[in-house]
Structure 1
Amino acid sequence: MGRSFAKGAIAPNPPSAFVLTAAMLPDADEFLRMMRAYFRRTATCMLITLIGVATPAYAQDKSTDAAINATLGDHTKYKQVILAFQKAINNHDAAGVAALVGYPIKVKIDGKDTIVKTKKSFVANYDKIITPAIAKVIKNQKYEDLMVSYQGVMLGQGEAWINGICLDNSCNKVDVKVVTIQGKSSAK
């Protein structure tokens, strides 16, 4: 036999089911207002998420400097190397390009992966390393369209990368250099 309680008495152990009464529900107008607000907030959050996902990680205009500052450090060091690299490529200045490279660097020479250890070796193989396709990509790269990540600054679609090389254990001092030069089959 179950327990019985006097009318109006509160049971010491209320039932586990939640009872919803009509008095607890908002009226129709209030309910619609609440639902509109909920959907506006949800749609706004979804839109912000989609924009964040769909927006490429390319730095634009003045934000290139900000992206480099935030990700890699002092943008002036990177910008100086990027512009000098482009100028040296544009002028077919093998020694100028070689001076901007961090050694050793892995490159392709005659289709084979090769480690170039010195500026002298780089200059001697310049035309095999900086192919016309790579040179074109580097020359045409716009500063405001650079892609910046923790891996460095990417030119083209990865034909060249520029990054800081740590000069001390804490990496507080860096030497900004060209760290990757690689041909891409899609480079034209």
Structure 2
Amino acid sequence: MGIFNLKITILITIILLVGTGSVIAFGVSSPYWDKNPLEMYPGQVKEIEFTLVNKPNAETANAVVELKQGEQIAEISSGKNYVVAPGSKDTKVILKISVPETAQIGHVFDVKFTVKAAPENQGGTVQLGIGYNVDFPVKIVEEYEEEIITPEEPKSKISWLTWLIAIVIVLVIAYLFLRRKR
């Protein structure tokens, strides 16, 4: 009976592997997360990019992006549907974040969107897909002026060296002059 169960298990495993559609293996790279919030000031508008990536040996992935939370300040400006080619590291999802003028300093808006594999109409196989929830805080901070850093002009070593040489020459001339007088 043990060999029979082993054969059945192997047969079922082979059927599942052959009958299962391919797994789409793309991912999302996010520049912001809980410990690294996006900081913006009241009235500021900013476009931020999230990158969809795909394994080099994976199939082309069709992804659907949907905003789930934070609609009052965020919108997906680059569209809802994306094609992520194998080995791709440059498919951008662009969110436009617009903080209202009335936003209070210290308030935190939560923005969340999902990235899911687009369903394909393939009959007869089990389709496995993946999805990601990307959420990040938008922290309201005071507007600050960016400091324009002007590089200091390097202190000229030549002028310092020139003065040193001039002093040495004057001292040598004075020494020679005083020596001649004696």
Q: Point out the structure with the larger helix share.
A: 1
Structure with bigger RCO (C-alpha 8 Å, 6+ apart):
2
Fold match by TM threshold 0.5: no
TM-score, structure 1 as length reference = 0.23
